[in-house]
Structures are given as structure tokens and as C-alpha cells.
Amino acid sequence: MRSCFSRRAGLAFVTLAFLAACGGNGSDGDAGAPGAPGTPGAPGSPGEDGLSSLIQTTAEAAGANCAQGGHRIDSGLDANANGVLDTAEITHTRYACHTVSVSLVAVQDEAPGAHCATGGKRFSAGLDANGDGVLQAAEVSSIGYVCNGGTGAAGLNSLTAMSSEPSGTHCAVGGLRISVGLDANRNGVLDPAEVGSTEFVCNGAPGGLMAWEEVTAGPIQATSNRGYLVAGGDQVEITLPANPAIGDVVQITAAGRGGWRIAQHAGQSILTQSLDGGEIGINWLAQGPSLDWGELVSSADGSRLFAFTGPGRLYTSADAGLSWVERTPIAQWEELATSADGVRLVAAPWGGQLHVSTDAGVTWTARESTRNWTGVASSADGLRLVAAAWSGQMHTSTDGGVSWTPRDSARTWTAVVSSADGQRLAATTAGVNGRIYTSSDGGVTWTPRAVAADWQRLAGSADGLRLIAATSSYQLYTSTDGGETWTARGTLPNLLRLASSADGSRLLASTAIGRLYLSTDSGVTWTPHATSASWMGVAMSADGNFLAATRYDFGGPEQMYTSRALPKNSTTVGPSGAVSAGGQSSITLQYVGGGRFLATASSGSFSVK
């Protein structure tokens, strides 16, 4: 990595950002005439057919995996193409377990007052929704009072007796019987003849009664004590039961790529406890070793991070930045892109070959020719790649970088982004007559868009429709239609890098001499975060709940920083509130009264609104 983190002699964007540290800024020379395009190479051999993913659901008996029984969900690739998920093909196993809600009662002395003139007993009852054996305030569904008699000599104390209630007329699946009355014979025991009233607090529906339904499309109106297995590739909206009884349970599991969104009726909310969500970017945590950090990319879930450091070093993290491993790059790379899972990578140098990795950066293979590469992008599966060269052609690959095809004309390409499927592409070019180019056919054809400007930076959503671009004068533009039209959005001085969430609503920007900036409305407004510094690379998880940033200190090495969404205790009440999650996620909700559902168990990454 050379001085000022730029090998691009013709790019003023980074040079301007570090003018104060790098000395004077001479005038740019005239761009040289583009060289003649090289002869396209012969097409590579067709790759092997992809493998289909399979999901298999079977009943799971009560035991170590599920105390009350449930369902076992196996998934994997159909290696032998027989349409059946064989035992040897299973790579992931999850369990959707049934639950049983236990009744709890808390008894306290009630001081003389509005509820009992001469004092007595207060008893609170409810279901142990979170299974901790303690009746929490959020779990209380009913409160009763048994008051003492008069305060004279004949005054009698109230007594309460609790006992287990077997399954039967009063409680279908058992529960607690609560008897109350006055101690007429003053023996301190509630005798049968002294019982004045009896209450029952019943257990929730047992796991064995939980029925499961496989869904591939929505919207779905959920019913109480039912499980929903999302098996398709698209997100399914599931609305909470409209009239639940206290203790009713709803379970949702996404075993494949498709996630889910839980919608709410009027007056309903979800007590989310420790699910992700809430305000992001407030707290930043220093991570990893002190190095000269540069470019940074992240896997979709934020667990895998990849960063360049100077000079010519690559570091990888598999635990969201907590620990780092130094790798041995073959070239002094400056641009990097990753698949959604962080396993397939493509790296590009200024003046060298492209390199690809299929093991999360452990080993690398040289591909394509030596060029001044200025940008790379990857589809979610890491097979469709695109690489841009300064004063050269755009190049695309459909086999994970094994073979490459030159596209379009030689231009001063500066950045490129790709949709998750690799079909929608966008790229920027530099110079006073630079343009933004878009492609909707995987890079075969390109169309010039936007106004003429010295375009330098670019980021986009997973569907390729929401884009944000920046010029060398730090002017921002956004698009919501895949780049066909653009809207000016002001400037962020010394802007250096951009990152986007999968839906394009959350954006993170670094400034070379300033702050980090976060937008939660697709670039319309921006809020400064973190301390003033020379911020370099930025990365964001697909759901926008995890942020990472690197910074460079001209006085010495620096650490990198991460930020997570602060926990949000509850969704917004009513139809505007929701909980969403991606694939390989699950949640168990139990109704605790007052329109509130409690998230008693969960796994995966969540967004809380």
C-alpha cells in the first residue's frame, strides 16, 4: 500500500482527502489515449451443474434435543441428484421444539390501603414465559386480593393455599389451584370449610399439541399454538394471532434461505428482550491489533471481515473483528469483494493480476491479466464477478473468476457494484465527462446514466435498485430505480468510502479527515457518528445492524472499530411494529396479556421495528 493509500495516479478522489498529509497537489496530467482492446480469449469450458438444496422435516421425540419433543429440520445439497436428502448429504440440522408453559404464583403481604382496608394478601399469577422459574412483571396476567377481617378482637386473618391441579375440567393440561379464605378457627391453616373462593391458573398448551405448517409464500394469518416452517426462498409475512389467550404460543422457523416478517394487529407488540434492533452507530468498540488499516469488506451477517493493511498485508476475522489472522497476499491488493457467506473472495491490485479465494482468504489463485484494476464486485454466491480497469474494459466472470470476458469499451472506470444475483450492475467513470453506467444483463451491455461528473464512489442494495454515488467534489447522488434517474443529496466533505445494507435503507460513509456518517433513509439525511479521525474502509451487515470501520493515523498504527444495534425492548405497538429475520433463524413467542407477546427463545439475526 503506497503513501496516501492510492496507486491510482489519475484518481484525485483519495489524493484530495489526504492532501494535508501528503504535501502539495500538482495539477493532473492529460489522460492518455485508451489503448486498443485486446483480442478476447476463447470461452472457458462450461462449469458443472449446480446442486439443488433440499430440506427434510421429521418428528423429534422428547429427549436431549427437545425436552417436549418437536421437529428435526435437516438441510443439505442433493449431491447424487436423486431428489432425496440422504443421510450423507445432511450438512445442517436444526430443531423446532415444542414448549410447555408453567404457571407461577407470587404471594405478598398487602398493607392496609385502597385494596384492603385492614391489610391482607396480594397474589399475582401468570405463565413462566421465559422459563426462569420467577414470575416477572411482564408475565403477570392476573392480580387478586384476600383481605383480613375487621381490626377489632374478632378480626380474622386471610389465608391462601396452593396445590397442583391435574388435567381435567378446570385446566385441560393441568396447572395450579389457589384457594383463599378467612382463618375462622385461628389455627393458621386454611381448612376446607374456610375456603371462600378458588382460582385456577392453567398451563399453556403442551408441546405435543403444537401443529406445524410448511409455508412458502405469504401473507399468513397465524393461529395460536401452531408452528410455521418457512421453506421457500422468499421472505414470508406472518401476522400474530388476533385474539390469543394468555399462554398461547407461536413458533416460526426459517430453515432455508427465505426469512420471515412478523406483523402485528392494532394494540399488539412483541417484547424482544435481547433481539437485535434499535439505534445503531452510537457505541463503537476498538477491535483487533493496531495496524495501518485500509479497505474493509464484510460477509452478509457481519461475522467474517476482511481488511487490507499497509504495506501489502491481508487480515481476516471470523468472529466479527474480535480476533484477526494475517494472511499472505500474492500482490499489493487495494480492492476486495466477497460472497454473502464470506467464503468466496476476489481481490484486485493496481498493476497486477486479479486473485480469487474459495476458502475465506486462506489460499489464493491468480486470474486474468495484469491491469490497473480499480474496482471489483461479487454476486451473493460468489460465482458472478465483475472487475473494472482504469483506462481498460470492464470484465465479467460467471464461474467464480476462473475465466473472464472483456465487456464494453475502455474507460476510466473507478468503481463497480453488483446485485445479489449478479444481473444488475452499476459502475462509475472519472474525468469531467465521467458518467455512471448500468447493466441489467450481467455486464453484457451498458447504458450511460446521470450527469457528466468526475464520479468516484458507489454502493448499492442487494436488488441493485437503490444506489448511491459520489463525485470527487464529494457531491452525493441517490437512485431508487437501478440508476435510470438520480437525485442530488448534498455533500459529505472528504468522503472516502460507502457501504449499504441489503435493502439500501442504511448507508455508512467514511471521511478521510472527519467523522463516520450514517443514513437510515437511503441517503436523504446523514448523522455524524464516532470521533473525528482519518476513517478509511467501512462495511455493513445485510440487515444494517452491524457496522465496521477502519481508520488510519499518520502518527502511528490504529485499531479498527465495530458497532452493533443497541437492544430494543419492544416493537412499536400496532401495525407499524414488526420483527424480521433472514434464513436459518427461529423464534418462539408466547402471549402474556395486554396485547404483548414475549420472545422466549430465538436464534439468528433480527431486525426490530
Q: What pLDDT is stored for residue 429 in this prediction?
A: 97
DSSP 392-406: EEEEEESSTTSS-EE
Confidence of residue 484 (pLDDT cuts 50, 70, 90): very high
Q: How many CB atoms lie within 10 A of CB 118?
A: 18
Secondary structure of residue 17 in the 3-state scheme: helix
Question: Dihedral sign, CA of 335, 337, 343, 347?
Answer: negative
The residue among 283 and 173 whose pLDDT is bigger is: 283
pLDDT value at position 284?
A: 85
Which residue, chain included where needed, has cell 378480626? 155
Q: Which residues contact 243 (CB under 8 A, 6 or more apart)?
A: none
| Cell matching residue 601 | 427463545
Runs of H (alpha helix) within 417-570:
none
- Say yes or no to pLDDT of 398 above 80: yes
pTM above 0.95, yes or no: no
Give the separation between CA 166 and CA 175, rounded to whole angstroms: 7
Q: Residue 527: its pLDDT value, please? A: 93
Q: In what order do the strands lie in the sheet with 558-564?
A: 285-291, 558-564, 546-551, 535-540
What is the rounded distance in angstroms from the CA atom of residue 52 to the CA atom of residue 257? 13
Question: What length does the chain have?
Answer: 609
Give 22-81 pLDDT, tens digit per residue.
334 444 444 455 555 555 555 555 445 545 555 666 767 767 777 666 667 676 666 777
* Sequence-separated contacts (24+) of 33-41 with Cβ below 8 Å: 34/391, 34/392, 34/409, 34/410, 34/411, 35/391, 35/392, 35/410, 37/393, 37/406, 37/409, 37/410, 38/369, 38/406, 40/405, 40/406, 41/403, 41/404, 41/405
Domain topology for 279-564: Methylamine Dehydrogenase; Chain H (2.130.10)
- Residue 483: other Cβ atoms inside 10 A: 29
The rounded distance, in Å, linking the Cα atoms of 597 and 263 is 12
Burial class (CB in 10 A: 0-12, 13-18, 19+), 168: exposed
User: Which string of DSSP letters, residue by residue, matches 151-210?
Assistant: SSTT---EEEEEEEE-SSSS-TT-EEEEEEEE-TT-SSS--GGGEEEEEEEEPPPPGGG-
Rounded CA separation 288/550 (Å): 10
The lowest-confidence range among 109-113, 246-250, 328-332, 346-350 is 328-332
Which of 38-42, 438-442, 569-573 ranks highest by mean pLDDT? 438-442
Per residue in 533-569, pLDDT (tens digit) is 899 999 999 989 899 999 887 666 788 999 887 666 7
Per-residue pLDDT tens over the stretch 242-300: 999 888 889 998 876 778 899 999 999 998 765 655 567 777 888 888 888 889 999 99
Q: What local confidence, expressed as pLDDT, does residue 51 receive?
A: 53
Q: Which of 326, 96, 414 is nearest to 229 (CA)?
A: 96
Of residues 320 and 426, which shows the higher confidence score?
426
Mean per-residue pLDDT, 151-167: 61
Rounded-to-5 percentages of helix, strand, coil across the chain: 5, 50, 50
Q: Check whether 374 has a pLDDT greater than 50.
A: yes
The three grid cell numbers given for residue 602, joined into one nine-digit string: 430465538
How far is the C-alpha of 454 from the C-alpha of 467, rounded, in Å? Answer: 17
- pLDDT category, 13, cuts 50, 70, 90? very low
Split at pLDDT 50, 70, 90, the class of 306 is very high
pLDDT cut 90: percent of the chain above it: 40
Q: What is the pLDDT of residue 28?
A: 46
Beta bridge partners of 372: 350
Domain locations along the chain: 53-99+207-277+568-608, 103-202, 279-564
Cβ–Cβ under 8 Å, residues 578 and 550: no
User: Which of 85-89, 104-108, 281-285, 535-539 is modeled with the greatest confidence?
Assistant: 535-539
d(CA 134, CA 127): 10
Query: Among residues 545, 607, 609, which one has the least CA distance to residue 578?
Result: 609
CB within 8 Å of 395: residues ≥ 6 apart: 368, 386, 387, 388, 389, 404, 405, 406, 407
| Per-residue pLDDT band at 500 (split at 50, 70, 90) | very high
Cβ partners under 8 Å of residue 593, min gap 6: 126, 140, 141, 246
- Quick one: what percent of the chain has pLDDT higher than 70? 73
Nearest-angstrom CA–CA distance, 541 and 531: 21
* pLDDT at residue number 426: 97
What letter would DSSP give residue 556?
B
CA angle centred on 93, ends 87 and 94, rounded to 5°: 150
User: In this predicted structure, what is the pLDDT of residue 272?
Assistant: 78
Q: Confidence class of residue 609 from pLDDT cuts 50, 70 and 90?
A: confident
Better pLDDT: 93 or 439: 439
Residue 100 and residue 207 in contact, taking contact as beta carbons nearer than 8 Å: yes
Task: Determine the 3-state secondary structure of 22 from DSSP.
Answer: helix
pLDDT tens-digit series, residues 191-217: 888 887 776 666 554 444 467 888 888
